[in-house]
A and B are shown apart, each in its own frame.
Chain A
Amino acid sequence: MRRIKSVLGYAWAALALPMVLATFIGMDSWARGFASITGLQVSPWFTGAEVVRTLDHGEYETRIHRPVFDGLISERGRGFVQVVWVPKGDTLPAMIDEDLDIIGDDRADCRISLDTRTNQISLTPLCENVLGVKEKLVFEKDRGLRILVSNPRR
């Protein structure tokens, strides 16, 4: 038994060098394999979740993301909805005024006025689930907003 343990110990120790080599040499393919096997994604609390509706306004698009209420086990009572305005050309119009259905209940939940030059945003809640502005996002061409909402299912 002692001999077997000894042989196994040395074998595991000798494998350490190939393991290090394999880690670095195969890094890219290991990483791709890791991502596909685990199916891991970055938490929607950071990414803003996936786009669920796109509204075409001709010179720009309004992209409404899925409401983020994701909790560890069940949904949270509060979350946010990310909205991003993307120009079709180089720039967004100077002023954007929109009534948006951000929760997906087929009625406008809030009214947004966005000055794309000063990045001033005014948000008017049209339903009790819309609580306010969580965060403004100023990208090179796009402008975004995270709107604090309460979970209508809770």
Chain B
Amino acid sequence: MLQGFILGLSGGAACAVYCAPVLVPYLLGEAGGVRRSGSAVALFLAGRLAGYLLFATAAWAAGAILLGSGKLPLIAGPAYVVLAVLLAIYGAGKPRSRCAAGSSSSIGRRLGGVPWLLPLVLGFLTGLNLCPPFLTALVAAGEAPTLGGSLLFFLMFFVGTSLYVLPAALLGAAGRFPKLQLIGRLAACVMALYYFYAGILRCAAGIEQVIST
């Protein structure tokens, strides 16, 4: 248990670096101050935890076989593509403070209508991100003797890494400036392109791996 927490603490800064390209544009794009931003970060982290726990279960069940087979890109690739699509919809939509119904697409409207959903989904999808500390945790969790042990390991790993992500809530202070909000949303579109391409590359790598084995 302690090992998971320490691993989270030691690799958490790297986790924050990997989450920043998704989280920073999102938080800048949202209006509403530090408190609202804090809840968005909490939801994001909750989504990430869900992603972690899903992996913890899979890691325990497969005994980290997935990692060795090189098929992980087949999970991360589509996750990145979905993440890119969500970021693009978010970026292209209108700020929530105006009118959620004004979003340009039906998905956008739904996301705007359920304000807690988007950070949760973004968190979940970045939770499936293959950042180095996560991969380490995955191997360690795979070695846990029971499913409970594996889940607990990931839970503590999550607590350790979250300490580095929490300060992002301060970005909510920037939400008072509408122009920063606009920049955040445009940046979400830019990041969508990046993750879309990264996702396609990972999918291709995963398929190549499957074919070669």
Contact = CB atoms under 8 A, between A and B. Distances in A.
Contacts of A154: 132, 135-136
Contacts of B135: 77, 154
A131 to B, nearest CB: 9
A130 B14 CA distance: 23
Interface string A73-114: 111111000000000000000000000000000000000000
A73 B14 contact: yes
Interface residues of A, number: 10
Contacts of B204: none
Size range of the chain B interface in the assembly = under 10
Contacts of B11: 74
Contacts of B132: 71, 74-78, 151, 154
B14 A72 contact: yes
The B interface is mostly helix, strand or loop, or mixed, namely helix
Nearest to A78: B132
Nearest to A77: B132
Interface in A41-97: 71-78
Contact of B136 (A72, A73, A77): A77
Given A73-B17, A78-B132, 17 more contacts: A71-B14, A71-B17, A71-B132, A72-B17, A73-B14, A74-B10, A74-B11, A74-B13, A74-B14, A74-B132, A74-B133, A75-B132, A77-B132, A77-B136, A151-B132, A154-B132, A154-B135
Interface of A: 71-78, 151, 154
Interface of B: 10-11, 13-14, 17, 132-133, 135-136
6 contacts: A71-B17, A72-B17, A73-B17, A74-B13, A75-B132, A154-B136
